[in-house]
């Protein structure tokens, strides 16, 4: 099962865009050389039938959280399911059709060829692409990545990108505790990236495409959500959190 993975897709009120993501994933899986790959959708308390759309469009597992707990909590739920099912690799994609599942091919092939532990997607490195208008997020994500890089002592061009592939065994490391209550929103993903880098795991970036839609391309709202992205690296660097 060396080339086996679960693709985790957290989703909140994505009934309109999730089907497009799942159709692309299904097309990708049909041509995949991996022994086994499955999609696990975590419906984080949606009120628009997101879970029903996931089932109708081929998700292998649909997990329903009755109350919205945040994207970090949804991701944890998906990770726990994949670990129980014994998948050696985990992938993370957005549920709003931002990412291209075809990019998973090169990302996992790179991980296997170079014996990597963690592959972080980047729209900003050479070979990466952005489709659609970014609004103010282009500058914001670049600035954030610069600050993150300074705090972690490792250059990362796109630390906010939700696309990633990594070994499941990383989550067995006692120094990586994703079950902490303060990691239930946007904090979990930068926490995991920071911990893997500082834990001296083999971490590299891989160029991917990010697609911004004409309207409603982000659920992030204001300074509060940006602070949720910033604080893991800052608090870990200061030793306030672990």
The neighbour count for residue 140, using CB atoms within 10 Å, is: 15
Domain count, the chain: 1
**pLDDT tops 70 at residue 147:** yes
**pLDDT tops 60 at residue 10:** yes
Task: Say how far apart CA 202 and CA 49 lie, in whole Å.
Answer: 39
Return the residue matching tokens 């998973």.
104
pLDDT of residue 2: 57
CATH number at residue 15: 3.90.550.10
Confidence of residue 184 (pLDDT cuts 50, 70, 90): very high
Kindly state the average pLDDT of the residues 182-189.
96
SS3 10: strand
Contacts 24+ apart (CB under 8 A), 228-233: 228/185, 228/186, 228/187, 229/144, 229/160, 229/186, 229/187, 229/190, 230/144, 230/147, 231/187, 232/183, 232/187, 232/190, 232/191, 232/194, 233/147, 233/148, 233/151, 233/152, 233/190, 233/194
The alpha-carbon radius of gyration of the chain (Å, integer) is: 17
SS3 220: coil
> Residue 34 belongs to what domain range?
4-238
Instruction: Encode pLDDT of 86-132 as tens digits.
Output: 999 999 999 888 999 889 989 988 999 999 999 999 999 999 999 98
């Amino acid at each position: 099962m060396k080339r086996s993975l679960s693709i985790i897709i957290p989703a909140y009120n994505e009934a309109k865009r999730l089907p497009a993501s799942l159709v692309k994933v299904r097309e990708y899986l049909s041509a995949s050389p991996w022994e086994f790959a499955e999609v696990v959708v975590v419906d984080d308390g949606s009120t628009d039938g997101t879970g029903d759309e996931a089932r109708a469009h081929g998700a292998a597992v649909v997990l329903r959280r009755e109350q919205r707990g945040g994207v970090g909590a949804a991701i944890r739920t998906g990770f726990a399911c994949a670990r129980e099912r014994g998948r050696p690799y985990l992938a993370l994609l957005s549920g709003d059709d931002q990412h291209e599942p075809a990019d998973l091919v090169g990302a996992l092939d790179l991980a296997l060829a170079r014996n990597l532990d963690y592959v972080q997607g980047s729209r900003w490195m050479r070979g990466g692409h952005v489709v659609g208008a970014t609004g103010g997020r282009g500058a914001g994500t670049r600035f954030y990545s610069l600050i993150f890089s300074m705090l972690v002592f490792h250059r990362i061009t796109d630390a906010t990108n939700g696309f990633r592939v990594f070994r499941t065994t990383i989550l067995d490391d006692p120094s990586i505790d994703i079950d902490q209550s303060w990691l239930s929103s946007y904090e979990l993903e930068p926490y995991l990236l920071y911990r893997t880098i500082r834990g001296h795991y083999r971490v590299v970036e891989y160029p991917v495409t990010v697609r911004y839609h004409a309207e409603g391309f982000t659920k992030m709202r204001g300074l509060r959500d940006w602070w949720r992205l910033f604080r893991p690296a800052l608090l870990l660097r200061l030793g306030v959190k672990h």
